[in-house]
Structure 1
Amino acid sequence: MRKRAHHRQAGTRPAAGQRTNVLALVVPLRAGAHDVVVREFVAAAIAAAGAREHALLLLTAEEGPAALRRAVSSSVADGVVVMDVEAADPRVPVLLGLGRPAVLIGVPDRPRGLGCVDLDFAAAGALCLGHLAGLGHEHVALIGSPPATYRRGSSAATRLARGFTAEADRRHIRAKTLAWGTTHRQTLRGLDALFARHPDVTGLVVHNETALPAVLAGLRQRGLRVPEDVSLVAVCPDSLTAHSLLELTCLAIPARELGALAVETVIRQVDGDSAPETRLLVPELTARASTAPPRLR
């Protein structure tokens, strides 16, 4: 998939030492990818590339590392930005073997010298738990990404859950981590199971942007008011909270900032101005109307 064409014919490799001012961006199309996050990443990357007089070639590599190798090795790209990174990402050795500057949006367990930019998701999970604990909530739950996201080892989802659980252990807070699909029916069933087993849960962290509207609707259907009965923290791009009638407390995923930062980072590497490094952005939580101290029961 190509979003912005370049005057050179795709598939024609540049001569040694010749710059094309083309960057490749590998984007996910798989089911369960966070659509709003992906769109904001891509929009910011396109804008940042254009501001630096670079074209952006969008590639999808859903067939695995071999497809990535074929797509990138046959393109004119000076450098590569890869989204949707897994903890044990099989694309890492492929990228190393291509011999081109590459930046990952996400952090695998073993980056092996590749540049990485991301939100510090472990700190984000801890910050969400800490916010609820600071308000006095003693039993909380994380509604995480869909199960398929964890099965394939998504770096962001896994790190946030670990940070959430570790902070709960540190504060001696009872915490549950849950994962279900993105449909309205799956969300309602998940909420039914949660409150049937743990009726004293008073705080929720939702790291599943697609299911967020269904979570809010499901709480209303159960007669649970936000924040009077249940406090809720959303982990998503801040722009997504504008569509809610209730002003949501939000741990913002800075998708646009990360998309631009990844492009700028790979351009610096192409220019020889920086070595590969991992850069994690500090999470920011904005407290709004959806969180409050738990009411006395």
Structure 2
Amino acid sequence: MVTILDVAKHAGVAPSTVSYVLTGKRAVSAGTRVRVRQSMELLGYRPCVTSAHSRTNVLALVLPLREGVHLPVVMRFVTAVVTAAREHGMDVRLVTADGGAAGLRGLANGGRADAFLVMDVELDDERVPVLREMGRPAVLIGHPAAVTGLTCIDLDFEAAGARCVDHLADLGHHTIGFLGAPSVVYARNTGFARRTLAGFRAAAVRRGLTSTALPTEAGGGAADAGVGALLAELPEVSALVVQNEAVLGRVVECLRAEGRRVPDDVTVMAICPDELAGRLRLTSIQLPVDVLARRAVELVMAKLDGRQPPALTLLPPKLSPRSSFRR
């Protein structure tokens, strides 16, 4: 199926220019308008019913700022979504209220966005039935337990948790720990946290390792308490996986304060954006914020163009080795 991107390439203009020709939202020179229309006709482009008349050229990014959400990483997602959306001639409306199913239904009925990107997805997310019934294109960054009738994209967090364990086991570690998100994130059954933990635990059993996993709370002293609890429960720990950007740097400091040198005594891995791991010189599984955001926008634009992408796209985890482990 021909898309706006195809028309833009054929006409030699930006995708946003094609959108402006369709919607009349901004002035386009007569010559450019004719060229775009000719490309549409030659390529056989057929905009969806709403394109010419009721399109707002707005994507709603539904990102509730709940307890336990790490704002710096959230804002990286926002920036990446906005940047990708502009390449398609779309603006982004950020919705941070935790309105649940009722709030999402109200947004859809309000008609102030052409499509939706939904984040902080829970395994049994109450917003899913609304997404299936509301009749507007939507893409989830994250995925619930059942993806039928949806379009979702995510890092394969279960594989990421397992990849950490396999990497550490291959280095010869037998006793490993995991410090995760705040307990409230697990209590909400947030998909990324639950899946990473499941992957970590299953791989530890498969590799015959001794392991323990604990949440790490937010606020001052959280990392100190988390590291202290883990060392008390698993004093022989020789490797640690951290999935909590808010406390990551402090965890390394706490280990050193406890007399555990990194990496000589304890190997540390993180699941986080690559830039953060790079600053701390930690081996990591990359959280590919930019790729997830860009692919999510591409998927929702495909749906606006009348195509139906796969229900679930999972990005394989990518390991970035650094100096935080010993061979």
Q: Same fold (TM over 0.5)?
A: yes
> How many Å apart are 1:125 and its aligned residue?
0.4
Task: Quote the residue 2:68 is aligned against.
Answer: 32
* 1:212 has 2:248 as partner: yes
Corresponding residue of 1:196: 232
Query: Alignment partner of 1:49: what SS?
Result: helix
State the Cα deviation string for residues 195-215 of structure 1 (Å, max 9, x = none): 122110100000001011120
Using structure 2 for the length normalisation, give the TM-score.
0.82
* 3-state SS, counterpart of residue 277 of structure 2: helix
Please, which moves more after superposition, 86-95 or 269-278? Answer: 269-278
CA distance, structure 2, for counterparts of residue 232 and residue 184 of structure 1: 21
Aligned to 1:259: 293
Deviations, residues 133-180 of structure 1 (Å, cap 9, x unaligned): 110000101111110000000000000111111111111111111112
Residue 91 of structure 2 corresponds to 55
The residue that corresponds to 1:20 in the other structure is: 56
Please tell me whether the aligned partners of residues 87 and 154 of structure 1 are also in contact (alpha carbons under 8 angstroms). yes
Taking the aligned partners of 1:144 and 1:199, their CA distance within structure 2 comes to: 18
Q: Distance in 2 between matches of 1:39 and 1:106?
A: 16
User: In the aligned structure 2, how far is the partner of 1:273 from the partner of 1:186?
Assistant: 46
SS at match of 1:81: strand
Pairing 1:167-246 to 2, within 5 Å after superposition: 167-244=203-280
Judged with a 3 Å threshold, the aligned counterparts in structure 2 of structure 1 residues 124 and 15 are, in CA distance, closer, same or farther, namely: closer
| CA–CA distance in structure 2, aligned partners of residues 144 and 72 of structure 1 | 34
Q: Distance in 2 between matches of 1:16 and 1:112?
A: 30
Secondary structure (helix, strand or coil) at the match of 2:140 reads strand
Cα deviation for residue 17 of structure 1 reads: 6.3
Shift of 1:112: 2.7
Q: Flag the structure with higher helix content.
A: 2
Structure 1 position 281 matched with structure 2 position 315: yes
RMSD after superposition: 1.9
CA distance in 2 between counterparts of 1:58 and 1:214 reads 31
Corresponding residue for 2:166?
130
Contact 2:179 2:244 (C-alpha < 8 Å) held by counterparts: yes
Specify whether residues 235 and 275 from structure 1 end up closer, same or farther in structure 2 by C-alpha distance, changes over 3 A only. closer
- The answer as to whether partners of 2:212 and 2:230 remain within 8 angstroms in 1 is no
Deviation at residue 256 of structure 1 after TM alignment:
1.2
1:144 corresponds to 2:180: yes
Between 25-34 and 281-290, the greater mean CA deviation after superposition: 25-34
**CA 1:114/1:16 → structure 2, altered by over 3 Å: closer, same or farther?**
farther
SS where residue 258 of structure 1 aligns?
helix
Contact 1:59 1:71 in 2 (8 A): no
Residue in 1 that maps onto 2:112: 76
Paired residues in the alignment total 281
- How far 1:31 moved relative to its partner? 2.1
Counterpart for residue 304 of structure 2: 270
How far apart in 1 are the matches of 2:135 and 2:161?
A: 35
> Which runs of no fewer than 5 residues in structure 1 stay unpaired?
1-6, 9-13
The range that moved more, 41-50 or 31-40, is 31-40
TM-score by length of 1: 0.90
Contact 1:207-1:235 within 8 A present in 2 as well: yes
Contact 2:174 2:210 in 1 (8 A): yes
2:127 to 78, 87, 91: 91
Q: How far 1:20 moved relative to its partner?
A: 2.5
Contact (CA 8 Å) 2:147, 2:311: kept in 1 or not? no
Which secondary structure does the structure 1 equivalent of 2:221 belong to? helix
CA distance in 1 between counterparts of 2:176 and 2:289 reads 26
Give the fraction of aligned pairs with identical amino acids, expressed as a percent: 44
Q: Secondary structure at the match of 1:201?
A: coil
Deviation at 1:186, TM superposition (A): 2.1
1:163 is aligned to 199
Partner amino acid for 1:42? V
